[in-house]
Structure 1
């Protein structure tokens, strides 16, 4: 019985404060949308694919060499973001950023047991993201021959500028959805807080609950009678 009454009280509170809940939810969505669309700088992403594969003199696959190439990807991921590569890219593209700033824009990803890894670059300018991705991969392919004394890097796919590039972040719809959930939770929480702090007596049930005494009688509200004439 107590659980049923408790559930009824919950729905009663939500029904009573629904305007407040909806208002906070709407405000949160509007704030999130405004920030996502007007304040946050859009970031674009471009990527290249690089193959690590030692050139073989015979037309046969060497499993040991393949595994060695796969293991080298971890080393290459470090080298490709090192000053030895990025300083040359900065000079070629005449970038105003430092090696550390450029390194933060670069992400290296690879699949398990694959000789191919991806180089992804994020930048506020979609064209610059493409240029940096191609410059880094090209410089890496050229410089790795002297750095590691090997010739096992090939570029499978260069970065290309799409006709209508779409930013990878921010994601306005996702941000608004998250804001709606947060606003809804905040509204519900505030509604229950206000209800908890409201200790005014509104009806006979409140008197019985507060005093823990049975109600013997009540005075009905008498409406005023207006005499005509």
Structure 2
């Protein structure tokens, strides 16, 4: 027999576990905020761009073919830019004790669709070092590419700059906190329904009817000693004479 749950029962479960759900939401958000703000080291990004052409002087009639040829070679230029030939020279100029593979992890080389523009984005815990790494990579690429691929027309399009009060690229504290809020709500609601599903105790008349399938006819209330004392109808007599009078009265009624 399949059990169904109504919308009213869903809201009843959520209302019953509201405190637990809110506690989990606040806890998740607080942990995400504290970890993002205090434990994760912020990183900064800086970008520099170059535009590449195979030839400086191109006839108008062959300009379109030249552009398409350059675009098709963009992926090759991107690989060259993160190769040891370029990055080893970058490390030497910046006096870095990093290998080319370690430097490559700090760089992201991308190109805009159907253009001859290559953008180098560097990531570092210092904004100044990130900007220097991006600019140096572009500069070394511009110097070395003519010998590597017979490409002389490489010009910087924009250089990375630093600002006084930079915003870190990572971690995104607001985004992390928002994700934690949603995750906390999901965990809280899921846990509320799990606890309700595992709760086999009988609390109301409806629970009895649901379990045994028979309507409840009457209820016997639980009475404490205080209830007995406050209700004279059920209070036990404390005086022997009162007992005799009550007994005599009952006897007269029965005669």
Post-superposition shift, 1:56? 3.4
1:47 aligns to 2:47 (yes or no): yes
- Give structure 2 stretches of 5+ with no counterpart: 232-255
The corresponding residue for 1:63 is: 64
Give the direction of change, closer, same or farther, for the CA distance of 1:211–1:4 in structure 2 (3 Å limit).
Answer: closer
**Aligned counterparts, 1:69-108, within 5 A:** 69-108=70-109
The corresponding residue for 2:118 is: 117
Give the direction of change, closer, same or farther, for the CA distance of 1:89–1:5 in structure 2 (3 Å limit).
Answer: closer
SS for the counterpart of 1:155 is: strand
Q: Counterparts of 1:149 and 1:70 in 2: how far apart (Å)? A: 16
Post-superposition shift, 1:112? 1.7
The corresponding residue for 1:34 is: 34
Post-superposition shift, 1:196? 1.2
Number of equivalent positions: 226
SS for the counterpart of 2:13 is: helix
Give the direction of change, closer, same or farther, for the CA distance of 1:206–1:118 in structure 2 (3 Å limit).
Answer: same
Q: Counterparts of 1:156 and 1:69 in 2: how far apart (Å)? A: 16
**Aligned counterparts, 1:132-147, within 5 A:** 132-147=133-148
Give the direction of change, closer, same or farther, for the CA distance of 1:83–1:131 in structure 2 (3 Å limit).
Answer: same
Post-superposition shift, 1:59? 7.0
Instruction: Please say if residues 52 and 70 of structure 1, whose CA atoms lie closer than 8 Å, have aligned partners that are also in contact.
Output: no
Post-superposition shift, 1:22? 0.5
Per-residue deviation, residues 86-129 of structure 1 (Å, max 9, x unmatched): 00110110112221111011111112211112111111111100
1:13 aligns to 2:13 (yes or no): yes
The corresponding residue for 2:251 is: none
Q: TM-score, normalised by structure 1?
A: 0.92
The corresponding residue for 1:24 is: 24
Aligned Cα root-mean-square deviation (Å): 2.0
Q: TM-score, normalised by structure 2?
A: 0.83
Post-superposition shift, 1:57? 3.2
SS for the counterpart of 1:122 is: strand
- Give structure 1 stretches of 5+ with no counterpart: none
Q: Counterparts of 2:121 and 2:136 in 1: how far apart (Å)? A: 12
Q: Which has the larger radius of gyration?
A: 2
Q: Counterparts of 1:94 and 1:57 in 2: how far apart (Å)? A: 37
Instruction: Please say if residues 89 and 135 of structure 1, whose CA atoms lie closer than 8 Å, have aligned partners that are also in contact.
Output: yes
Post-superposition shift, 1:78? 0.4
Q: Counterparts of 1:105 and 1:142 in 2: how far apart (Å)? A: 21
